[in-house]
Amino acid sequence: MAIELLTPTQVDEMRPAGRFVGEVLTALQEAADVGVNLLDLDALAHRMIKDRGAESCYIDYAPSFGRGPFGKVLCTSVNDAVLHGLPHDYVLRDGDLASFDFAVSVDGWVCDSAVSVVVGEPREEDLRLIEVTQQALDAAIAVARSGNKVGDISRAIGDVACANGLKVNLQFGGHSVGRTMHGDLHIANDGRPGRGVPLKPGLVIAIEPWFLHTTDEIVMDPDGWTIRSADGSRGAHVEHTIAITDGDPIIMTARS
């Protein structure tokens, strides 16, 4: 496994990509509303990429688990869809739970982030699910420090899930990032503390907990991309790209 450690100068060079990803997700949160089409949200992200001179990590993405190339610049997962949602002709409805996942390359450096929101009148259980997923991300970032190991991040996420009665799917999780979107390092959303790859200054990773209300089983849509809960329950997904340092981790994709 080849894991790249960046110099402090390279981490600084990566910051514009993180800021831009944060700006786009903020714009998407503001634009997402009842009556808005998912294709319009993808078009908004596409325009912002073009205006910035950035490069989408998704549009030509064709991994083994998808039916590629993806063809869009944004993942839009709604209600029982939780990951890799392919934007399509769907108009958001009152109470929809939507997750937006976005990654781009700016000046050759990649950052990746995701956010979940409810449009219109929310269900209390959906707001709670988003809150717990964010708590898991916060807990993971808190232990993402030099001297700890990847297993500590995974366990922090799993502990939050367990404390809130949620099951954890281990098929998809976080990953290292740098010049490409998906590096060799996989970060499961549950694991054993003190195990795995050591966290060292210069390691840049995307941490992305995602939970479903009542299951950890998933199914794939006929589009070959959109991943849904097997029982129809709703899901939430949040993600930040962070850099490990000698002190506190840097949240590269922080949103205003």
Sign of the CA dihedral with 56 first, then 220, 116, and 193 last: negative
208 annotated as belonging to a binding site for a ligand: yes
Angle at which helices 150-163 and 124-142 pack, to 10 degrees?
Answer: 150
88 is in an annotated binding site: no
Ligand-binding site membership of 175 (annotated) = yes
Dihedral of CA 193/167/82/23: which sign? Answer: negative
Determine if residue 131 is labeled as part of a ligand binding site.
no
Say if residue 4 carries a ligand binding annotation. Answer: no
Determine if residue 186 is labeled as part of a ligand binding site.
Answer: no
Omega before residue 69 within 30° of 0, cis: yes
Here the tokens at position 61 are 């993405």
Q: Is 240 annotated as a binding residue?
A: no
Asked if 45 and 28 touch (Cβ cutoff 8 Å), the reply is yes
Helices (H) and strands (E) in the chain, counts: 4, 14
Contact 253, 113 (CB under 8 A): yes
Q: Is 13 helix (H, G, I), strand (E, B) or coil?
A: helix
Q: Which amino acid is at 52?
A: R
Residues 179 and 158: beta-carbon distance below 8 Å = no
Rounded Cα–Cα distance for residues 12 and 133 (Å): 28
Residue in 134, 142, 193, 191 with CA at minimum distance from that of residue 164:
134
Binding residues for substrate: 84, 182
Q: Residues annotated in the binding site for a divalent metal cation, as ranges? A: 101, 112, 175, 208, 239
Binding-site residues sit at 84, 101, 112, 175, 182, 208, 239
